[in-house]
Amino acid sequence: MFRFEAAAASPGEPWLNIAIFGAFVAVTMVIVFRASRNNRTAADYYAAGRSFTGGQNGSAIAGDYLSAASFLGIVGAIAMTGYDGFLYSIGFLVAWLVALLLVAELLRNTGKFTMADVLSFRLKQRPVRIAAATTTLVVCFFYLLAQMAGAGGLVSLLLGIGDQVGQALVITVVGGLMILYVLVGGMKGTTWVQIIKAVLLIAGAGLMTVWVLAMYGFNFSTLLDRAVEVAENPAILDPGLKYGVSELAKVDFVSLGLALVLGTAALPHVLMRFYTVPTAKEARKSVVWAIWLIGIFYVFTLVLGYGAAALVGPEVIAAAPGGPNSAAPLLAFSLGGPLLLGLISAVAFATILAVVAGLTITAAASFAHDIYASVVKKGKPEPGAEVKVARRTVVIIGVVAIIGGIGANGQNIAFLVALAFAVAASANLPTIVYSLFWKRFTTRGALWSMYGGLISAIVLIAFSPVVSGSETSMLKTEAIDFAIFPLSNPGIVSIPLAFLLGWIVSVIDNRREDAVKQAEMEVRSLTGLGAEKAVSH
Amino acid sequence: MGNEALSADVDLSHVDYPAVQQSPEFQELRSTHRRFVFPVLGACLAWYLAYVLLAVYAVDFMSTRVFGSINVAMLLGLAQVVTTFAVTMWYVSFANKHLDPKAERIRDEIETGVFLDRADEGVVR
């Protein structure tokens, strides 16, 4: 569903699109420069000096989370496969309850900058940190690759750049901008880009939603009738068009649903956002804000998806450059002409840029803080060295993402995004939950769970139908077929496996972890001791 | 941990964490937290799983038209959104009322050194 193809024609005015996007970049650059003047310490660079309010951070979380896959992908999926597309929206939203109830506040209270801070709190520092940094880097890399590949495809649609060289150039520009934002702005600059993008995206989607509904007298049922008429298929209103075709497809969907609902609370770039607020209470507030914004946005996707089906029509969308992903831009064009298309295109670019910046700073922080400062320098880096390493890492990650994005251009983006969610849920979630809530959890259990979850998820995907065996797979040929695992999402196997490994290995492990550290972690996580401002007596 | 981020202005290095962990106040905070989050999250995940399973295995039921062309599937999808919002607000009000005051008291007492002194003198137990 998140597939972009090379194209030669754009329905709008490429120069108008470029001008609007250029204005967005100019405005955000100024803000990033202004915001970054006080970036000195590691806390400034990674966690924005913990200076954001719950509301600001909540908007930034929404900006970090609502990627191009959410906007273009889901609207396109609903327009093409009807109700089944909406199932993604619900999974992406309900997942936030796991983050709110289990993870956000406890994590804010026990960690400093990265996920590994929390996971290694009461276990053996070195091996657990290395494992957590590895899963962080892998998840960020796949997510990054998906976004960069998406940028290339989006450009083909919106700017009319069809050839591979032109698209590679645009991916390079997007990557270069991202490096600049993160290098200059650090977490503070990244956060502001995400806030602005969230406001633009939700406002843009809201405007289109009201517009579509107004055209049908604010009667959603009339809109649905029209969508059925245009699609000539009443089944688009019902579930099952995509995932009801076979028993295997049904199991596959349950597997995907599991990965979506459990993956969010384990995505490192989402977790890192909780450190940018001063207290656990603000962390709670930010999740509440994020849930409202994200929830409202996903309700919009239902109207926009069926709106695109009714006003543009599945046939036109399928034939358009970019396929299903062009549904939202085409809907904007049919509503407000080239100007609205330009605005929505700029919003889509902003979306990719903001998500990519968030991923990059997370990966860089994990490398500099977990690997360099804590493991290589044994927790005692020279003053300022850690941030220097982080900045260099940003450039390296940026270059790798540009090269990877050019290589992945035209690949199935759903595959990469689903991989990131499934890997996060399998590799990170069990260890997060166990170390926060289970006293008997051991270092060996954590390592087995993290590496077991990571490796099983990746191996199962490698042997799944998304990689080989059909024309629509990654290898794009039926000739090579090693798809011995029948499901395209590994979640239903790898997530329970990782939970099981963590539990069994801890139970049979004779070594006991430090009980005092466990007590400290539990007391800190629930009371906020040491993380909140001390009382003045 | 000794870092600038955990902005403790007081010295926490002498805090006896296992003793705090064993104290009745902390045990109460811990069980209040767990008694809320585990069942509520369990119910929400079960409700989500039920929705997913209905969508793939009970297509006829989900396709039943309710108002005009709006079917059960859409209403249940919106119900998921509504319950997510409702649980969010419920948790916030629960945390404000039952978790924060308890956590704050323990934290303040530890930071001012009152907590374990009281325990030593047997005031608490």
Residue B124's pLDDT band (boundaries 50, 70, 90)?
Answer: very low
Task: Give the C-alpha separation, A342 to B32, whole Å.
Answer: 52
Contact list, B44 vs chain A (CB under 8 Å): 94, 97
pLDDT given for residue A385 in this prediction: 86
Percent of chain B with pLDDT over 70: 84
| CA nearest neighbour of A181 among A433, A425, A355 | A355
Each as own residue / partner, the long-range contacts of residues B65-72 (CB below 8 Å, 24 or more positions apart, any chain) are: B67/A221, B68/A219, B68/A221, B68/A222, B68/A224, B68/A225, B69/A221, B69/A224, B69/A225, B69/A228, B69/A237, B70/A220, B70/A221, B70/A224, B71/A237, B71/A238
| 3-state DSSP assignment of residue B67 | strand
Kindly determine whether residue A529 and residue B91, on different chains, have CB atoms separated by under 8 Å: no
Q: Which of B21, B63, B85 sits opposite A523 (nearest CB)?
A: B21
Whether pLDDT at B7 is above 50: no
Percent of chain A with pLDDT over 90: 44
Whether pLDDT at A207 is above 90: yes
Min distance B88 CA to chain A CA atoms (Å)? 7
Contact list, B77 vs chain A (CB under 8 Å): 83, 86-87, 89-90, 302
pLDDT given for residue B3 in this prediction: 39
In a domain, B76, yes or no: yes
| CA nearest neighbour of B54 among A90, A419, A307 | A90
Kindly determine whether residue A532 and residue B69, on different chains, have CB atoms separated by under 8 Å: no
Task: Give the C-alpha separation, A197 to A201, whole Å.
Answer: 6
pLDDT given for residue B113 in this prediction: 77
Whether pLDDT at B79 is above 90: yes
Cross-strand bridge partners of residue B67: B70
Min distance B25 CA to chain A CA atoms (Å)? 11
Please report which helix (H) or strand (E) contains residue A81, including its range: helix A74-81
Q: Which of B67, B71, B92 sits opposite A288 (nearest CB)?
A: B92
Q: What angle do CA A35, A40, A45 make, to 5 degrees?
A: 65
Range in A55-69, A319-333, A451-465, A494-508 the model is least confident about = A319-333
Whether pLDDT at A132 is above 90: yes
Cross-strand bridge partners of residue B65: B71
Q: Which of B15, B48, B103 sits opposite A528 (nearest CB)?
A: B103
In a domain, B86, yes or no: yes
Place of tokens 């609205």: A340
| CA nearest neighbour of A449 among A435, A419, A428, A433 | A428
pLDDT given for residue A4 in this prediction: 37
Cross-strand bridge partners of residue B71: B65
Cα pseudo-dihedral A274, A276, A282, A287, rounded to 10: -40
Q: Which of A50, A97, A254 sits opposite B52 (nearest CB)?
A: A254
Task: Give the C-alpha separation, A66 to A70, whole Å.
Answer: 6
Residue B23's pLDDT band (boundaries 50, 70, 90)?
Answer: very high
Q: Quote the mean pLDDT of chain A.
A: 87
Task: Give the C-alpha separation, A400 to A177, whole Å.
Answer: 14
Residue A2's pLDDT band (boundaries 50, 70, 90)?
Answer: very low
Whether pLDDT at A9 is above 50: no
- Which residue stretches of A232-378 are H helix? 247-263, 268-272, 280-311, 314-319, 327-365
Tell me the residue range of the domain where B87 lies. Answer: 19-120
Dihedrals φ, ψ of A320, to 5°?
Answer: -70, 155
In a domain, B1, yes or no: no
Min distance B31 CA to chain A CA atoms (Å)? 11
Q: Which tokens is A269 given?
A: 């770039």
pLDDT given for residue A10 in this prediction: 56
Longest CA–CA span in chain B (Å) reads: 71
pLDDT given for residue A122 in this prediction: 92
Whether pLDDT at A536 is above 50: no
- pLDDT, tens digit, 9 for 90 and up, residues B91-123: 999 999 999 999 999 998 888 877 766 555 443
Whether pLDDT at A534 is above 50: no
Residue A342's pLDDT band (boundaries 50, 70, 90)?
Answer: confident
Task: Give the best residue of A106, A243, A262, A526 to mutate against chain B (max B CB count within 10 A).
Answer: A526
pLDDT given for residue A381 in this prediction: 84
* Structural domain A14-409, CATH architecture: Up-down Bundle (1.20)
- pLDDT, tens digit, 9 for 90 and up, residues A462-517: 898 888 887 777 777 788 888 889 998 899 999 999 999 999 999 999 888 899 99
- The complex's ipTM? 0.89
pLDDT given for residue B4 in this prediction: 38
Residue B5's pLDDT band (boundaries 50, 70, 90)?
Answer: very low
- Which residue stretches of chain B are H helix? 17-22, 24-57, 59-62, 72-94, 100-111, 114-120
Task: Confirm if A248 and B51 have CB atoms less than 8 A apart.
Answer: no
Q: Which tokens is B11 given?
A: 């010295």
Whether pLDDT at A201 is above 90: yes
- pLDDT, tens digit, 9 for 90 and up, residues A267-319: 999 999 998 888 888 999 999 999 999 999 999 999 999 999 999 999 888 88
Cross-strand bridge partners of residue B70: B67
The domain locations on chain A are 14-409
Q: Which residue in chain B is spatially nearest to A225 when comparing CA positions?
A: B69
Contact list, B15 vs chain A (CB under 8 Å): 520, 523, 529
Task: Give a three-class secondary structure readout of A30-41.
Answer: HHHHHHHHHCCC
B76 touches chain A (CB under 8 A): no
Residue A456's pLDDT band (boundaries 50, 70, 90)?
Answer: very high
Contact list, A238 vs chain B (CB under 8 Å): 59, 62-63, 71, 73
Task: Give the C-alpha separation, A140 to A223, whole Å.
Answer: 39
- pLDDT, tens digit, 9 for 90 and up, residues A232-245: 888 889 888 888 78
Query: In the predicted model, what is the mean pLDDT of residues A176-198?
Result: 88
Whether pLDDT at A530 is above 90: no
Query: In the predicted model, what is the mean pLDDT of residues A137-163?
Result: 79
Q: How far is CA A218 from CA A295, A303, A430, in A?
A: 20, 11, 45
Task: Give the C-alpha separation, A96 to A89, whole Å.
Answer: 12
pLDDT given for residue A212 in this prediction: 96
pLDDT given for residue A15 in this prediction: 82
Percent of chain A with pLDDT over 70: 94
- pLDDT, tens digit, 9 for 90 and up, residues A368-383: 999 998 888 888 888 7
Contact list, A526 vs chain B (CB under 8 Å): 26, 29-30, 33, 103
In total, the C-beta contacts within 8 angstroms joining chain A to chain B are 187
Evaluated on CA atoms A486, A489, A492, A493, the torsion sign reads: positive
B103 touches chain A (CB under 8 A): yes
| CA nearest neighbour of A355 among A180, A170, A146 | A146
Kindly determine whether residue A527 and residue B107, on different chains, have CB atoms separated by under 8 Å: yes
The residue that leads in pLDDT, A107 or B2, is A107
Min distance B90 CA to chain A CA atoms (Å)? 11
In a domain, B38, yes or no: yes
- The tally of domains found in chain B comes to 1
| 3-state DSSP assignment of residue B70 | strand
Task: Give the best residue of A225, A248, A255, A529 to mutate against chain B (max B CB count within 10 A).
Answer: A529
